[in-house]
Structure 1
Amino acid sequence: MNGFRPSRRSALELLGAATLGAGGVGMASGTAHAAQTASAADPDELFRRGRFKEAERGYRELLRANPDDQHANAQVGYIALLSNRFQDAETHLTKATELAPDDRFSLTQLADTFVRQDQLGRAAPILERAGNKGYATQLASVSGTPYQVNGAQSTRIPFRGLDPLPLVEASVSGRGPRRFLLDTGGTLSLSMETAEEAGLEYVATGRGRAGGQTFTMYFGVLDSFRMGDVELRNIPVHWHDAKMPAALGDPQPSGVIGTTIFYHFLTTMDYAGRALVLRQKNGENLREFQAEARRSGAEKLPLWLAFDHFPCTVGSLNHLGPGMVSLDTGGSGGIGVVTTEEMARRAGIRVDRDRATSFNRIPVYPCVPDRASLGKAVARDIYSIAGPLLMDDRFRFETIANFTHAFFKPYAITFDFTEMNFYIAGKPSN
């Protein structure tokens, strides 16, 4: 969400042109009756509204009548992938891409089904079919076990700064420590200086654009990335020379740690306690965390993952919701919530069009919702912006807002990508 960080997926899609180149949510109030009438027998409308469980039932009814319905197969597969139901995703997305070999969206989702399981060799040829040769080349270049996790069962890494985004220390190929931003809307990226010091070699390049900057992106494989007492090995990574947010007087960070790293752990971003907590993904650690969450009264909400690194859950703005929201924590500049002018209107939020500003050089307007909430976690009168910044076109479903950095400061948030739950607690996690 911040001004420097290019999306790995969008950037890698450019490589084709380069030389190397679970359950759903309720209706938002105020629109429920009209949407229910329009979508009673229309799974596409149900899907657009984030009512995934009902939409899937509708698509499966279509498949019972016609197993070769390409669109229904594609949608059932995509819904399954959003909840990490990999077998269903593989079955239906494979069928959809057999029926429509030029369906690049479904090919990309099928590839991501394997990427999320660290089966990069299976993803690479599918990406070739989708025309994304650069990403395919990068994944095919990974040798050894991708994202191999070594070290302690859990580690707690203190924040070295909180604003404009959280900073933690990590080591690249045994060098360091270096300071990295945390951003759930990002992947793993490095500065040019850090990549050069680590001796990284690129296997593909592309042009990236973010925050009004246009730059070259380099794609390769990192042998070792250590955070606290855990280490990841054999990791796809990209690097660039774009400027990153930094506190006044601080040097540029060495890169970004994002959801493609968090995904490989039971990850807690403890804003209140100023620490990143990484637990290895196994049943014992998950059960221990769940017991802690119950004792602390943490709110448990459903979790979906769109396009390999955009977490989503359910939330509300004023009376609007609960509806689908994204959780891109990289919104620097004191922003708590990002929405659109239309969603602000629906929520009864006044948009101050007399004080236009910009975000990523896109015109936006300040607004202050009376209440923004993720379950029982509530922020009142939090500074927000309205503008064309949500990811609905890319996700293909509607979100009412993105919740970002300033909203989370009083909380500890945890992403469980195994059972697909998002936890938010009002006091630090242990």
Structure 2
Amino acid sequence: MANDGEWDRRSLLRGAAVVAGAAASAPLLGEAASAQAGSSDADVLFKAGKFEQAGRAYEEILKKDPTNLHAARQRGYVGLLGNKFPDAEKYLTTALKLAPDDKQTNRFLADCYTRQDKLSLAAPRWQAAGKEAQAKWFAAVRGKPYQIHGDIARVPWKQMDPSPLIEASVNGGPPKRFSFYTGAPWLDMSAEVAKEAGLSPVAQQKIDYLGGTAWMYFGVLDSFKLGGIELRNIPVGWTETDQASPVGPSDGLIGTWVFYHLLTTFDYAGRSLILRRRTPEVARKVRADAIRAGAKPLPLWLAREQYVHSTGSIAGSGPRVMGVNIGGVSECVAVMKGEVSKQLRIRTDYDRPLETFGHSHPTVVYPCYPTEIRLGNAVAREVYCNSAPQMQADEYGFDSLGGFFHSFYKPYNITLDFTDMNVYIARGKAA
């Protein structure tokens, strides 16, 4: 997402793909954070990532004051983070009745409907949230989107760096090379591939991009085939810009919206992408296989349409919310806010600033080297990370240490289970 609030797949940038998808950070370390985590204040609990406790606290507020817009909206957001759609719809609808023009409520409810493929319901909510292009786009989709054909696909990677590349067929055409990144939302492709596929835009918008501009176009693709899995009737985007792409040669980018329709394993150690039809039975089997391989179930939260989060730690911080940014382009294994690296006394090389981009805008980060970073049983020690002093705080409404990136996952396979909302990461190739 760009800083102005517009979606932008071009936030996938070299080096600070770094800050683009990273979870926002704020001071939550030390004694103050421990004291806050035990507080009954709903907002403090939410900011500390105690989402279930915060949800109960918001419910108590609403029992005493059913007209409390903030509590209703936040309780709905708690449900949305965990894909608990009945809860999310219940409380967000309550909030909408209290304030029909509230843009944040409309945006949350639009996202809630979008995740459930209820695009005709999502469109007016995107309109009310001020997202005209998205509203036109989803209103133009006819029939059920993201129709899944096939049960499983194991798609080999054509390269690992600077970004993983896989092959996919667009509208039955010859193989095209796509990268992927969970910091991006929808399926995006080059203007050339869109033209070859016969796509026509149903909506468009102009954005600032690097030192120039870009036009983003939105349409509906008939077919996208990844090995043994085919998706049909898919909302897609493509971009034309007067700036050179920093992500290297590829024909497109696959974002989180595709992956949350499937049970996806990013098998870094085996250099393959494993896609399965998402059913409770398949999820149980994958969970059992992951646990046998040494992975433990970690919580999965989805914020702001596409950003995956779980719990991890940096330099002995203890478990905290962190972004889980898979794919993309990044030499570093993690990014943290500047004040986090200072509070944790992480060795940071301020003499060697890296001028890069985040959210399509210039920024500066500094190399840093934490003693350890951890996601479940996956650990990296004394590795190259980035400290980002300008990383936005409170972007998602809750605190986070930062985010894991592409290089962290290389010895592992990592599975995102959007059925039970768990993350599994295990060393070695996937079964």
- Provide the residue aligned with 1:410 in structure 2: 411
Shift of 1:182: 1.5
- Provide the residue aligned with 2:367 in structure 1: 366
Which residue identity is paired with 1:11?
Answer: W
Question: In terms of mean alpha carbon deviation, does 329-338 or 379-388 score higher?
Answer: 329-338
**Aligned counterparts of 1:354 and 1:52: Cα–Cα separation in 2:** 39
Structure 1 residues 244, 299: CA separation in 2 closer, same or farther (over 3 Å shift)?
A: farther
Structure 1 residues 244, 417: CA separation in 2 closer, same or farther (over 3 Å shift)?
A: farther
Structure 1 residues 278, 165: CA separation in 2 closer, same or farther (over 3 Å shift)?
A: same
- Provide the residue aligned with 1:51 in structure 2: 50
**Aligned counterparts of 1:312 and 1:45: Cα–Cα separation in 2:** 19
Matching residue within 154, 160, 168 for 1:156: 154
**Aligned counterparts of 2:196 and 2:123: Cα–Cα separation in 1:** 28
- Provide the residue aligned with 1:288 in structure 2: 285
- Provide the residue aligned with 2:17 in structure 1: none
Contact 1:368 1:384 in 2 (8 A): yes
**Aligned counterparts of 1:9 and 1:155: Cα–Cα separation in 2:** 35
Shift of 1:72: 0.5
- Provide the residue aligned with 2:95 in structure 1: 96
- Provide the residue aligned with 1:147 in structure 2: 146
- Provide the residue aligned with 1:71 in structure 2: 70
- Provide the residue aligned with 2:15 in structure 1: none
- Provide the residue aligned with 1:379 in structure 2: 380
Structure 1 residues 254, 391: CA separation in 2 closer, same or farther (over 3 Å shift)?
A: farther
- Provide the residue aligned with 1:106 in structure 2: 105
Which residue identity is paired with 1:269?
Answer: F
- Provide the residue aligned with 2:59 in structure 1: 60
**Aligned counterparts of 1:209 and 1:285: Cα–Cα separation in 2:** 42
**Aligned counterparts of 2:246 and 2:166: Cα–Cα separation in 1:** 14
Matching residue within 330, 334, 341 for 2:338: 341
Contact 1:318 1:371 in 2 (8 A): yes
1:18-417 alignment, distance < 5 Å:
30-33=29-32, 36-37=35-36, 40-151=39-150, 153-186=151-184, 187-212=186-211, 214-241=213-240, 243-245=244-246, 252-360=249-357, 361-388=362-389, 390=391, 392-417=393-418
Structure 1 residues 37, 328: CA separation in 2 closer, same or farther (over 3 Å shift)?
A: closer
Question: In terms of mean alpha carbon deviation, does 87-96 or 214-223 score higher?
Answer: 214-223
Shift of 1:226: 0.6
Contact 1:165 1:245 in 2 (8 A): no
Which residue identity is paired with 1:423?
Answer: Y
**Aligned counterparts of 1:173 and 1:291: Cα–Cα separation in 2:** 36
**Aligned counterparts of 1:213 and 1:80: Cα–Cα separation in 2:** 38
Superposition TM-score, scaled by structure 1 size: 0.90
Structure 1 residues 182, 235: CA separation in 2 closer, same or farther (over 3 Å shift)?
A: same
Structure 1 residues 124, 257: CA separation in 2 closer, same or farther (over 3 Å shift)?
A: same
* Larger RCO (CA under 8 A, 6+ residues apart): 2
RMSD: 2.2
**Counterpart secondary structure, 2:177:** strand
Structure 1 residues 287, 202: CA separation in 2 closer, same or farther (over 3 Å shift)?
A: same
**Counterpart secondary structure, 1:354:** coil
- Provide the residue aligned with 2:21 in structure 1: none
Which residue identity is paired with 1:429?
Answer: A
**Aligned counterparts of 1:28 and 1:296: Cα–Cα separation in 2:** 35
Shift of 1:284: 2.2
Deviations 1:266-316 (A, max 9, x none): 000000000000000112211221221122112321000011211000010
Which residue identity is paired with 2:76?
Answer: G
**Counterpart secondary structure, 2:49:** coil
Contact 2:36 2:44 in 1 (8 A): no
Structure 1 residues 200, 37: CA separation in 2 closer, same or farther (over 3 Å shift)?
A: closer
Shift of 1:373: 0.5
Gaps of 5+ in 2: 10-25
Contact 1:328 1:402 in 2 (8 A): yes
Contact 2:412 2:428 in 1 (8 A): yes
Which residue identity is paired with 1:334?
Answer: E
**Aligned counterparts of 1:327 and 1:157: Cα–Cα separation in 2:** 21
Which residue identity is paired with 2:398?
Answer: F
Structure 1 residues 295, 212: CA separation in 2 closer, same or farther (over 3 Å shift)?
A: farther
**Counterpart secondary structure, 2:276:** strand
Structure 1 residues 184, 390: CA separation in 2 closer, same or farther (over 3 Å shift)?
A: farther
Deviations 1:199-232 (A, max 9, x none): 1111111123455553111111111111111111
**Counterpart secondary structure, 2:348:** coil
Structure 1 residues 344, 41: CA separation in 2 closer, same or farther (over 3 Å shift)?
A: same
**Aligned counterparts of 1:359 and 1:161: Cα–Cα separation in 2:** 23
**Counterpart secondary structure, 1:59:** helix
Structure 1 residues 209, 429: CA separation in 2 closer, same or farther (over 3 Å shift)?
A: farther
**Aligned counterparts of 2:247 and 2:302: Cα–Cα separation in 1:** 28
Which residue identity is paired with 1:114?
Answer: Y
Question: In terms of mean alpha carbon deviation, does 346-355 or 173-182 score higher?
Answer: 346-355
Deviations 1:131-162 (A, max 9, x none): 222101100111121000012x1110000000
Structure 1 residues 392, 146: CA separation in 2 closer, same or farther (over 3 Å shift)?
A: farther
Percentage of matched positions with identical amino acids: 43
Shift of 1:408: 0.6
Contact 1:377 1:426 in 2 (8 A): yes
Structure 1 residues 343, 60: CA separation in 2 closer, same or farther (over 3 Å shift)?
A: same
Which residue identity is paired with 1:178?
Answer: K
Shift of 1:239: 0.5
Contact 2:207 2:214 in 1 (8 A): yes
Contact 1:390 1:401 in 2 (8 A): no
**Counterpart secondary structure, 1:196:** helix
